[in-house]
Amino acid sequence: MDSALQATRLRAHQRRLWTFHGGLHLPDEKELSNGSPLVRASLPPHLVIPLRQHIGTAAKPVVAVGDRVRKGQLIAEAQGPISAPVHASSSGMVIAIEERPVPHASGLSAPCILVETDGEEAWAELPPPLDPKPDPRALRERIRWAGIVGLGGAAFPTSIKLSPTPDRPISTLILNGAECEPYITCDDRLMRDRPDRVLAGVRLLRDLLEVKECLIAVEDNKPEAIQALRQTLAETGDADRIEIVAIPTLYPSGGEKQLIRILTGQEVPSRGIPAQIGILCQNIATAAAIADAAFEGKPLISRVITLTGRALRQPRNLEVLVGTPIRELLAQAGGLGPRLRELLIGGPMMGFTCEDLEMPVTKGVNCLLALTPEESPDPGPALACIRCGACAQACPVTLLPQQLYWHARARDLDKVRAYNLFDCIECGCCAVVCPSHIPLVQYYRFAKAECLAEEQEKGQAEHARQRHEAKVARLERLEEERKANLRKKKEALTDKPAPARGAASPGAAGGGSGQSLSGAAETSKPDAAGPTPAVAPASQATGTAEEAKKAAIAAALKRAAEKKAALAQQGLGPKNTENLTPAQRRQVDAAEARRRELLATESVSAPQTLDPPPAQPGLVQVGEVGMTGSPPPPGARTAPLQSSREQP
């Protein structure tokens, strides 16, 4: 074991390290809280669990008010590709689902699930542990189910980050244990007290990504953590595949791009991600959470938090349930002292003011910092920029903070984009060195929010435009289809032949001939030797149509009378003629009289079958289907070619 430990130290000593531009040497103030081991925080009476503790879409509740939940039970499921589920941190009853203040620089509220704990800490049924070398798909699914996000501050869903595309294979895995910001020691204590959990998670990530190189980076101001990791690594016999690297203490060496530069000398492209150059970074607390999910089936429902600052009576590190109110935690650290100037969520460089002690702890909260006036003196009002250039010298991303400040102040969003505003990591180095005490980071955050709002508005406007164009195209298509259908109907009516004279005969009207109206007459064929007949006048065709209509009406009346007579023989009558008033009875009798008179008139005026006259040249026989010059069949009616006015 000693030889393996010495070999690990030798490799770390021989490894070449690079430097990044700018950065600051700050008083670390870590001795305030890293002297005592980790302790589990006590169970609070209420938990306030936000539905959005990650980058992306908020989770959707799957429980309702009044439901009883168990520890580790899923209470909100992920929504969309970039999201993470949320689990109950303890057992109890859901008492509300409402908006509550949450830890965020904006100070806005967000939907939360309120759980009244019962003190039983009864676990839900957990999934079985995975194998030491699990299937990659099973491990990614377990990480997704557990709701694990980046615990270094970004809170990006880990399952997505661990799913690189085939065209971007990962060759180097970096575990970030630098913890460069002053006062914060939660990762330091985790590496000291639970190095086995950290290394178990590192091995899972290494095997999952099949990387060629696995590095754990720790700042050299944490010798105890470095020693604990190296000793545990030597005991497990895995020192040849995992390298622990001590890096110089320089803020912000824990930034993702800065750490990659220190360890590999490579630069991440502007507005790019490390996967573009084959590198992936994870926080050591995230690795420990992955080990818990894989081997114990536990979701991410707690994390280590540093409570520190000279305005706090008992600075320490606690393992805290997600959703614990900040007020409860401060009480477990002895409470706030009388000389409190401000309470920050996060560190002194990148943290923000805590405005409400009822805010809950989320997955992304790593520190509560209570500062005295000496630790956080009032800088006074901001003065005019003197263009000294100190901000540009301190910027670790090689930006031009002065130009960004001017354009952000003028709300010239195109200019701030041109100066790579979104490459800014908001580390605060420029604001610390500014002799005019200008709050530069606040200006950059404002400009970023404005840019994102503008892009969102443009996206919504573009979406609305596309919807409008699609609607106009759909209405035009429907109108064209309607016009086409109407045109087809008109063409069909135009092509339909006019009904012939004599379409209905008395026999057909009475139903005794056995022929339909359309078959009352046959189409006669033209005489091949005779002259081409002329067309009959339209008035005669109209008269034939009227006679056919009358014949059809007479047939319908006859059928109605027969049906009525049949019902009368059965003793049945129309249901709407019962219980009539005298006036209604008179109206019915009058209608019956008119119906009988009409039947009598139709029977008297019915046409008689006559022998057809001999065919004459120049006359056309009109049948039901068409007009020809051949003699009509027996019983068919004829019409002269010319009217009486046109005869000579």
Q: What is the mean pLDDT of residues 560-569?
A: 82
Q: What is the mean pLDDT of residues 630-642?
A: 43
DSSP result, 620-643: -EE-SS-EESSPPPTT-----SS-
Residue 326 and residue 353: Cα distance in Å, rounded? Answer: 13
- Residue 606: predicted pLDDT: 54
pLDDT of res. 18: 96
Contact (CB, 8 A) for 72 and 322: no
Q: Which residue has the higher pLDDT, 152 or 215?
A: 215
Task: Say whether pTM exceeds 0.95.
Answer: no
Contact 427, 252 (CB under 8 A): yes
Q: Which two tokens stand for residue 610?
A: 């006559």
Return d(Cα 162, Cα 93) in angstroms, integer: 35
Beta bridge partner(s), residue 71: 123
Of the listed ranges 454-468, 509-523, 559-573, the one predicted with least confidence: 509-523
- Rounded Cα–Cα distance for residues 187 and 211 (Å): 24
Residue 616: pLDDT over 50: no
pLDDT the model gives residue 49? 97
Pairing mode of beta strands 316-321, 39-40: parallel
- pLDDT at position 537: 52
Structural domains of the chain, ranges and CATH numbers in brackets? 2-120+137-319 (3.40.50.11540), 390-454 (no CATH)
Q: Among 191-195, 283-287, 533-537, which stretch is predicted with the lowest mean pLDDT?
A: 533-537
Number of H helices, E strands in the chain: 17, 19
Residue 648 confidence (pLDDT) above 60: no
pLDDT at 622: 40
Backbone angles phi, psi at 178, to 5 degrees: -70, -45
Quote the CA–CA distance of 207 and 298 in Å, as a whole number: 21
Q: Give the number of other CB atoms < 10 A from CB of residue 389.
A: 11
Band of pLDDT at residue 521, cut at 50, 70 and 90? very low
Given a cut of 80, whether residue 645 has pLDDT beyond it is: no
Least confident of 189-198, 575-584, 627-636: 627-636
Chain-centre distance of CA 368, in angstroms?
33
How buried is 248 (Cβ within 10 angstroms: 0-12 exposed, 13-18 middle, 19+ buried)?
Answer: middle
Please give the structure tokens belonging to residue 357.
């002690």
Instruction: Give residue 288's pLDDT.
Output: 97
Confidence of residue 297 (pLDDT cuts 50, 70, 90): very high
Whole-number pLDDT of residue 605: 60
Reference 181, options 378, 315, 48, 347; nearest CA is: 347
pLDDT at 640 (0 to 100): 40
- Average of pLDDT values for 601-627? 49
By CB atoms closer than 10 A (0-12, 13-18, 19+), residue 415 is middle
Give the pLDDT band of residue 377 (cuts 50, 70, 90): very high
- Half-sphere exposure in the Cβ direction for 2 (13 Å, CA): 0
At 483, the pLDDT band (50, 70, 90 cuts) reads very high
Q: What is the mean pLDDT of residues 427-445?
A: 96
Yes or no: say if 317 and 189 are a contact pair by the CB < 8 Å rule: yes
Write out the H or E segment, with its range, that includes residue 47: strand 46-50
Q: What is the mean pLDDT of residues 199-206?
A: 96
Express as a percent the part of the chain with pLDDT over 70.
Answer: 82
Evaluate if residue 258 carries a pLDDT over 80: yes
The pLDDT of residue 515 is above 70: no
How far apart (Å, rounded) are the C-alpha atoms in residues 408 and 448?
9
Residue 500: predicted pLDDT: 58
Distance CA 112, CA 121 (A): 20
Confidence at 598, pLDDT banded by 50, 70, 90? confident
Give the model's pLDDT for residue 507.
44
Residue 5: its pLDDT value, please? 54
pLDDT in tens, 439-473: 999 999 999 999 999 999 999 999 999 999 999 99
Under the banding of pLDDT at 50, 70 and 90, the label for residue 615 is very low
The SS3 of residue 88 is coil
Mean pLDDT computed over 196-223: 96
DSSP character for 80?
Answer: S
Token look-up 């009853």 returns: 93
Q: How far apart are CA 551 and CA 602, in angstroms?
A: 8
How much is the average pLDDT of 13-18? 84
Residue 600 tokens, joined? 């009598």
pLDDT in tens, 541-563: 566 778 888 888 888 888 888 88
Is the bond leading into 252 cis (omega within 30 degrees of zero)? yes
Per the prediction, the chain carries an average pLDDT of: 85
pLDDT-derived band at 10 (thresholds 50, 70, 90) equals low
Beta bridge mates, 361 = none
The answer, yes or no, to whether residue 579 has pLDDT greater than 50, is yes
What pLDDT shows up at residue 618? Answer: 43
Residue 606 CA to residue 602 CA, distance in Å, equals 6
In the chain, what is the straight-line distance between the N-terminal and C-terminal CA atoms, in Å?
136
Lowest mean pLDDT segment, chosen from 219-228, 287-296, 473-482, 598-607? 598-607
**pLDDT over threshold 70, residue 383:** yes
Q: What integer is the mean pLDDT of 161-176?
A: 93
Per-residue model confidence as pLDDT tens digits over 59-110 = 999 999 999 999 999 999 999 889 999 999 999 999 999 999 999 888 889 9
What is the spatial distance between Cα 367 and Cα 369, in angstroms, rounded to a whole number? 6
Please state the rounded mean pLDDT for residues 324-352.
95
pLDDT at res. 589: 85
